[in-house]
Structure 1
Amino acid sequence: MEDHLRNRDRLAKEWQALCAYQAEPNACSIAQSEANLKKNRHPDFVPYDHARIKLKADCSPSRSDFINASPIIEHDPRMPAYIATQGPLSHTIADFWQMVWEHGCTVIVMLSPLAEDSVKQCDRYWPDEGSSLYHVYEVNLVSEHIWCEDFLVRSFYLKNVQSQETRTLTQFHFLSWPAQGLPATTRPLLDFRRKVNKCYRGRSCPIIVHCSDGASRTGTYILIDMVLNRMAKGVKEIDIAATLEHIRDQRPGMVQTKDQFEFALTAVAEEVNAILKALPQ
């Protein structure tokens, strides 16, 4: 890993090859249709037709099955490991909670602030305090815990007012990843990931991961998490570029820049180092 990072030439070539990589099939006509255009925060970051999360249209206030979200499968096609999605827009918040409900999600990973340099990155899809109703989903903010300067953790109590069913879920909100750039070091993000996975352990539902566009920071986080999870399971051969191609087959534009790709490699190398140091010598 360290040689890989030191070898600038190899890194540049690998990134060039990744940029040239074209997923097949790659049509995105549903997301770009007249009816759905306004549901996309960024016109360039939309799900593929063949790999998108479909809402139950008869339960949706807009009677549509579209949401800008993609299932990301690790190995079991029936059970996505993640749902990569954009930061909800004010008029897609009910769709977002419908997706959370329909997929039984218990963990949300949020990687962008609500606004940055007075540019809105994501609409607030939870109440400041107390509860808010989004279509038939009542969201109660139970607690908000500032873990450290880099992230905070919120607990929600989600109620479907139609069926009277209730569930609890946890949102992990990472604060120190600027839109145009990277966290200063990999450590805070790796600590954050450990917290997320400790809470998620043993669940059989996808983790929802979103930033603003649902591709750049979202893709980088999913790439790091997927590679480290594979290592933890004892997979001997780890090819990070091939893993990214696998992720890009399921959502376009995942990991936007060479710097983000390099950051993912660095994070994996750091975590492996930390694990090796902790082993009895």
Structure 2
Amino acid sequence: RVQPGSRWVFATLVSMACVGGILVAAMTVACLRHHAHRLAAKKLGLGPEEGSFSHQEYQDLCRQHMASKGAFATAGAGGGTDSRVSSVSSQFSDGAQPSPSSHSSTPSWCEEPAQANMDISTGHMILVRTLFILSHIKYDHSRVKLKADSNPSRSDYINASTIIEHDPRMPAYIATQGPLSHTISDFWQMVWENGCTVIVMLTALVEDGEKQCDRYWPDEGSSLYHIYEVNLVSEHIWCNDFLVRSFYLKNVQTQETRTLTQFHFLSWPAQGIPTSTRPLLDFRRKVNKCYRGRSCPIIVHCSDGTGRTGTYILIDMVLNRMAKGVKEIDIAATLEHVRDQRPGMVRTKDQFEFALTAVAEEVNAILKALPQ
């Protein structure tokens, strides 16, 4: 019981308790929203070091996702918009990201019914849920699968993805992680089963004291990797920036033999980009001269098979389309198309800018070569 003279004290205490409870609840909600915001930014590849992802941009992204009805899913079909360019550019982070296991993908965003009047909080939760789902999906539609009965571990897995340019029946590239000591035989099995004749290597074996890739070919003579005998035929230092190796590959079970060529680019640092685009463009020209007329995919790898690998594939794909006479090229949409098949392709903003610069310089060189 409360004495009549003490009722105001009791009422004050109850009011203070209520206000305190409301403040605690508000702070809890704010903290949860802030945590969800950071989680979404992390899933998008926007680390804190990026510093350019504002709250307004995030709201715009939510609204865009709710209203676009899967616009990103058709990004690779051509036709660019400013919103798509900005959305792709916002995904770059200069910081390191974890290497994916062999994911390929469904469209970049799952399709949701458009709701133009949806509030930001609801859109935020759907976006976070979408990102969570995408981060746990195995993108099997573009994962390279080995023949398990021919594999020593009876597994069909290798960290590699097919990259299709336009014809789903004929992949243009295989993007893969650099072979490690325990995956070398898997790598050569992939080479054999996909009929590949050209390998593009974009990493040194060791960079800054850290192993990036194991030597998957013999120093001289031949080496046997499970049932695949690899013979080093020649090694030619083409210039200071790259060298070319020729191999003779034999399946000792069937006694079939093939020849293939490895192009090894030496001037791309693990952290950063080449100082000039010209060496890489010359390197690409040499690769394509060897590959011309082939119908098998080109194997491209760096250390993890995403950053440098994705940048090279993006440059090559765009320039190949130009060479075929395509009138309009949407580079941002092309990148979305590539990322739909292997996530993380082109890891940093610098790499994307390097790709744009390389394309621009090659176009400028072509224009200069035309008769005036």
The separation in 1 between residues aligned to 2:224 and 2:247, in whole angstroms, is 13
> Counterpart of 1:202 in 2: which secondary structure?
coil
> Counterpart of 2:230 in 1: which secondary structure?
strand
Match of 2:364 among 260, 273, 279: 273
The separation in 2 between residues aligned to 1:54 and 1:173, in whole angstroms, is 25
Q: Equivalences for 1:242-253 in 2 at 5 Å?
A: 242-253=333-344
Aligned letter for 1:208?
I
How many angstroms does 1:17 deviate by?
4.1
The separation in 2 between residues aligned to 1:69 and 1:163, in whole angstroms, is 25
Q: Which residue is equivalent to 1:13? A: 86
Q: Equivalences for 1:141-156 in 2 at 5 Å?
A: 141-156=232-247
How many angstroms does 1:87 deviate by?
0.2
Aligned letter for 2:347?
Q
**Which has the larger helix fraction?**
2
Unpaired segments of 5 or more residues in structure 2? 1-81, 94-106, 111-132
TM-score, normalisation: structure 1: 0.87
Q: Equivalences for 1:155-174 in 2 at 5 Å?
A: 155-174=246-265
Match of 1:177 among 249, 262, 268: 268
1:276–1:16 Cα change, 3 Å: closer
Match of 1:260 among 319, 342, 351: 351
Judge conservation of contact 1:132–1:140 (CA < 8 Å) in 2.
yes
Over the residues paired in the alignment, what is the CA RMSD in angstroms?
1.9
Higher mean Cα deviation, 239-248 or 10-19? Answer: 10-19
The separation in 2 between residues aligned to 1:19 and 1:184, in whole angstroms, is 20
Matched, 1:221 2:316: no
Aligned letter for 2:286?
K
Q: Equivalences for 1:73-92 in 2 at 5 Å?
A: 73-92=164-183
1:54–1:167 Cα change, 3 Å: same
Judge conservation of contact 2:92–2:348 (CA < 8 Å) in 1.
no
Aligned letter for 1:276?
L
Q: Which residue is equivalent to 1:36? A: none
Aligned letter for 2:172?
A
Q: Which residue is equivalent to 1:22? A: 108
Aligned letter for 2:86?
K
- Higher-Rg member (1/2): 2
Identity of counterpart residues, as a percentage? 83
Matched, 1:117 2:208: yes
Q: Which residue is equivalent to 1:60? A: 151
The separation in 2 between residues aligned to 1:139 and 1:265, in whole angstroms, is 37
1:234–1:74 Cα change, 3 Å: same
The separation in 1 between residues aligned to 2:85 and 2:173, in whole angstroms, is 28
How many angstroms does 1:15 deviate by?
4.3
Q: Which residue is equivalent to 2:3? A: none
Aligned letter for 2:192?
W
Judge conservation of contact 1:26–1:49 (CA < 8 Å) in 2.
no
Q: Which residue is equivalent to 1:50? A: 141
TM-score, normalisation: structure 2: 0.66
The number of equivalent residue pairs is 255
1:241–1:104 Cα change, 3 Å: same
The separation in 1 between residues aligned to 2:135 and 2:253, in whole angstroms, is 36
Q: Which residue is equivalent to 2:286? A: 195
Judge conservation of contact 1:145–1:154 (CA < 8 Å) in 2.
yes
Q: Structure 1 segments of 4 or more deviating over 2 A?
A: 10-30
How many angstroms does 1:51 deviate by?
1.8
Judge conservation of contact 1:153–1:173 (CA < 8 Å) in 2.
yes
The separation in 1 between residues aligned to 2:140 and 2:134, in whole angstroms, is 8
How many angstroms does 1:262 deviate by?
0.3
How many angstroms does 1:118 deviate by?
1.2
Aligned letter for 2:265?
F
How many angstroms does 1:117 deviate by?
1.2
1:23–1:210 Cα change, 3 Å: farther
Judge conservation of contact 1:23–1:248 (CA < 8 Å) in 2.
no
The separation in 1 between residues aligned to 2:135 and 2:350, in whole angstroms, is 27
Q: Deviations over 1:170-217 (max 9, x none)?
A: 000000000101011000000000000000000000000000010000
The separation in 1 between residues aligned to 2:160 and 2:347, in whole angstroms, is 17
How many angstroms does 1:19 deviate by?
5.0
